[in-house]
Amino acid sequence: MLVIPAIDLMGGEAVRLQKGDFATKQVYSRHPAEEAEKFAAAGATLLHVVDLDGARAGWPVNLSTVAELCAVKGLEVELGGGLRTLSDIEKVLQLGVAAVVLGTAAVERLDLVRQACEKFPGKVRCGIDARNGEVKVAGWLEGSGLKAAEVARRVKAVGVTLVEYTDVARDGMFTGVDAAGTAALQAEAGIPVVASGGVAGLDDIRACLAAGVAGVIVGKALYEGRFRLADAVAISKGKS
């Protein structure tokens, strides 16, 4: 199981929100690449990056910072936020991004997801963000009227091989990750799913490992020192 540290970008800085509310922004680092280097040193191999400015704008915004993150040795970068055209997807892949995470497009532009999977095989993932069972889009600002499993099945059918599921109500709140819900989504949709949102401690890592999910994304808990990333990575490998 992968333990995937997260960096959310606004104005070139690493920030975190509560429940996806932009008004709750808290800056954790003015130099995100330095945080990424620490994550790599702790044993992480994949970094989850969200361009929050891009999610609101509808196109990638923090490109220079993303390029800096891609330059960190030993760490692949997956990027989401504002990727709604093939040209924008190609642009960030050329920067060195290893995979893109499509969210709004997965709901509103399934044709784009299909085209991206065909043009960039193995480099397209889907982010499914839900509150009270309803998938949210546009930086969690709008409802879609769709259930998570329905979206997961749709994107699997067009070539997506990994889904990242966030319970928006838990995100940044330290209420515990929804390991069981993530595992249920993985089983129902028949696609590997990564859990995200609400991670508070190492017990959440253990719960995800026990549930058999593909991975878990960790963010605010790391920045606030609730556990060491190296310990989480060790647990994910069955070494602790």
Q: Active site includes 129?
A: yes
Tokens of 25: 């922004």
Determine the Cα–Cα distance for residues 50 and 55; give it in Å rounded to an integer: 8
Specify whether the CB–CB gap between 196 and 218 falls below 8 A.
Answer: no
Cα separation, 135 vs 104, in Å, equals 9
Q: Which of 51, 53, 88, 129 is catalytic?
A: 129
Axis-axis angle for helices 86-95, 63-70 (nearest 10): 40
Angle between helices 229-236 and 202-211 (to 10 degrees): 20
For the chain, what is the largest distance between any 2 Cα atoms, rounded to a whole number of angstroms? 44
Looking at residue 76, the DSSP 8-state letter turns out to be: E
Set 8, 51, 178, 204: catalytic member: 8
Does the annotation count 203 as an active-site position?
no
Q: Residues 121, 159: contact at Cβ < 8 Å?
A: yes
- Residues noted as catalytic: 8, 129
